[in-house]
Amino acid sequence: MTHSSTRAAVLDLVRAAGTISRVGLVNATGLTGGTISTVVRGLIDEGLVVETGHAESTGGKRRVMLQLNHFARYAVGVHLDDARITCVLTNLGGAVVARISRACAGEPSGLAARTVDAVIDSVGVDRDRVLGLGLVSPRSLRGWEGHDLGPALERATGLPVVLDNDAAAAAIGEHWAGGVGATSTFAALYMGTGIGAGTVLGGTTYRGPSGNAGEIGHTCLDVDGPRCWCGARGCLEALAGPAAVVAQARSDRALTRAAGLLGGRTRPRTPVSADFAALSRIARQGNPRALALLERSARYVAAAARTLANVMDLEVLVLTGPGFAVAGAIYLPVLRAELDAAFFARAAHPIAVRLSPSAASAPAIGAAAIVLQSELVPRHQGLRLPDDLAAGEPPVFQPSA
């Protein structure tokens, strides 16, 4: 057998390239033809890769082209929200094979397990071809997972479960299924109940030591701005997050009526996402006050995005998540303008800003992609992390010799 990390690297290249030959893999990896030959044979034997045809000849034997066998394995992605549960079954390519989305309030473990089973059975996929289950939720709902939702789902479904937050998942999903290259550096700007970002640096997802990397919600955009619940002033979330936008709309009587906003004061637990979607809808239909509100928000988000792109030296920015699914058309041009202008003057490389084609179900698809990635491109090779270097060392030593 071949070294697992090489196998994973080759598989990932096949995925990223879509279609590639053995010679192409030799060039991309730096390995020799012999090694590639062996590794590819193994992948074909496992059914993960298939030969799909021939390239045009360049003067000699035609190259045999390889592709991921998209339907060799599957993964389940579950996205928990403040109001919904969305569950998708994807194939190896990250394409959605089945999808169920239903309202969900309160403790979701039972419902989640039943939804997972339903989604798998709905297309009659063999269960041991399902690699695992990705479970994704906003950081604010982290409580359930930590307790037992993960293990409970693991028991109920028999699938290995991995957890992550929505923004990181969206980024990984974009990296896996989207058109971004294998070594690209980009962020997925995520708007759900809050606003966040998942980051992929040089083809590797960057989470940070405490798993909070990409927390853009508390980017400071005004040192004298309104106080945020986090204690600081002028945070993006307080100025321009979905909750802030909805709050601003609710203080406008006419706008509240036009958008049909769900009441505010009586029930504090109103789903912000629904009101934000309603607001976006009438803005796109031409309501000037809603449009002004969203464009104001977009200006702040654009400034924060510019900072993020600067600091992380990003190449691509993808807008995704339920928020941008409904309001992307309003935010996109504002962000594009901001980033184009800033980088043109400094003669820096341009930053591509894109709207995710599947923004609404991005977190669920991303959750499945995390499973694909962790099962097929696993454990970043290398040495064990020496968290506590001298932890095992006796404290004192006597110089000698």
Partner DNA sequence: GGAGATTCTTCAGTTGCTAAACAAAGAAAG
Partner DNA sequence: CTTTCTTTGTTTAGCAACTGAAGAATCTCC
| One of 12, 13, 28, 35 touching DNA (CB under 7 A) | 35
**Taking CB within 5 to 8 Å according to partner kind, which of a second copy, DNA, none is near residue 383?**
a second copy
Please give the Cα distance from 35 to 336 (Å, whole number). Answer: 44
Q: Which residues 160-199 are close enough to bind a second copy by CB under 8 A?
A: 181-185, 197
Say whether residue 394 binds a second copy (CB under 8 A).
yes
Q: 251 vs 400, which CB is nearer to DNA?
A: 400
**Taking CB within 5 to 8 Å according to partner kind, which of DNA, a second copy, none is near residue 4?**
DNA
Site string for a second copy, 351-390 (x = CB under 8 A): ------------------------------xxxxxxx-xx
Please give the Cα distance from 191 to 364 (Å, whole number). Answer: 14
Say whether residue 67 binds DNA (CB under 7 A).
no
Query: Is the distance from CB of 321 to CB of 190 less than 8 angstroms?
Result: yes
Say whether residue 259 binds DNA (CB under 7 A).
no
Q: How many residues touch DNA (CB under 7 A)?
A: 30
Say whether residue 379 binds DNA (CB under 7 A).
no
Residue 322 CA neighbour count, 13 Å, CB half = 25
Least distance to DNA, CB of residue 12, Å: 14
Say whether residue 191 binds DNA (CB under 7 A).
no
Q: How many residues touch a second copy (CB under 8 A)?
A: 95
Give me the torsion for CA of 177, 180, 184, 189, rounded to 10°.
Answer: -80
Please give the Cα distance from 318 to 213 (Å, whole number). Answer: 16
Query: Is the distance from CB of 77 to CB of 90 less than 8 angstroms?
Result: yes
Q: Which of 308, 337, 284 is nearest to 190 (CA)?
A: 308
Residue whose pair of structure tokens reads 């360049």 in the numeric block: 58
Site string for a second copy, 64-83 (x = CB under 8 A): -x------------------
Least distance to DNA, CB of residue 400, Å: 9
Q: Which two tokens stand for residue 152?
A: 């409970």
Say whether residue 13 binds a second copy (CB under 8 A).
yes
| One of 1, 347, 389, 391 touching DNA (CB under 7 A) | 1
Give me the torsion for CA of 74, 76, 77, 79, rounded to 10°.
Answer: 160
**Taking CB within 5 to 8 Å according to partner kind, which of a second copy, DNA, none is near residue 22?**
DNA
Query: Is the distance from CB of 136 to CB of 165 less than 8 angstroms?
Result: yes
Say whether residue 300 binds a second copy (CB under 8 A).
yes
| One of 17, 39, 162, 244 touching a second copy (CB under 8 A) | 17
Q: Which of 282, 218, 285 is nearest to 254 (CA)?
A: 282
Least distance to DNA, CB of residue 29, Å: 8
Q: Which residues 270-299 are close enough to bind DNA by CB under 7 A?
A: none
Say whether residue 338 binds a second copy (CB under 8 A).
yes
Please give the Cα distance from 50 to 14 (Å, whole number). Answer: 10
Say whether residue 54 binds DNA (CB under 7 A).
yes
Least distance to DNA, CB of residue 331, Å: 44
Q: Which two tokens stand for residue 281?
A: 């809808």
Terminal Cα distance for the chain, rounded = 47
Say whether residue 238 binds a second copy (CB under 8 A).
no
| One of 12, 13, 38, 67 touching DNA (CB under 7 A) | 38
- Residue 97 phi, psi (nearest 5): -95, -35
Q: 324: Cβ–Cβ under 8 A, 6 or more apart, which residues?
A: 189, 190, 191, 331, 355, 356, 359
**Taking CB within 5 to 8 Å according to partner kind, which of DNA, a second copy, none is near residue 207?**
a second copy
**Taking CB within 5 to 8 Å according to partner kind, which of DNA, a second copy, none is near residue 146?**
none
Q: 33 vs 211, which CB is nearer to DNA?
A: 33
158: left (phi over 0), alpha (psi -120 to 50) or beta: left
